[in-house]
Amino acid sequence: MDTEGSQSSLSSSTQDSPHDPCKMFVGGLSWQTTQEGLKEYFCKFGEVKECMVMRDPVTKRSRGFGFVTYVDQTGVDNVLAQNRHELDSKTVGTRFGIKRLTLRWPSHVELSRSW
């Protein structure tokens, strides 16, 4: 999941934050919701930069959640201003998305396998 883009207008403190102010988590999606349907619904709140429905890598079935990234924070504000969102006959939940974190073990920690 790569969401690189120009964020030069954001302050450095915003860039260091684990929250991307333009990215939203969308939960409770119907199994039938497609990426195109997700984008079609959320584009009425602002210009969508990227959207994705997360799928199981083996079965390719929707995992019931996704992410929407807007070009600017106005889209997120417009979504949050509305209390209820219904997509494909299901009420979905929305909240701020979180940037993917890369976890690394400290160099002084040794991992051993006991199996």
69-80 per-position pLDDT tens digit: 999 999 999 999
For residue 28, count other CB atoms closer than 10 A to its CB: 14
37-81 per-position pLDDT tens digit: 999 999 999 999 999 999 999 999 999 999 999 999 999 999 999
96 band by pLDDT with thresholds 50, 70 and 90? confident
In this structure, are residues 1 and 63 in contact, taking their beta carbons and an 8 Å threshold?
no
Instruction: Please report, to the nearest 10 degrees, the dihedral formed by the alpha carbons of residues 56, 59, 60, 63 taken in order.
Output: -40
Separation of alpha carbons 90 and 61, rounded Å: 17
For residue 52, count other CB atoms closer than 10 A to its CB: 16
Which among 87, 79, 88, 92 is positioned nearest to 47, based on CA atoms?
Answer: 79
List of domains in the chain: 32-96 (3.30.70.330)
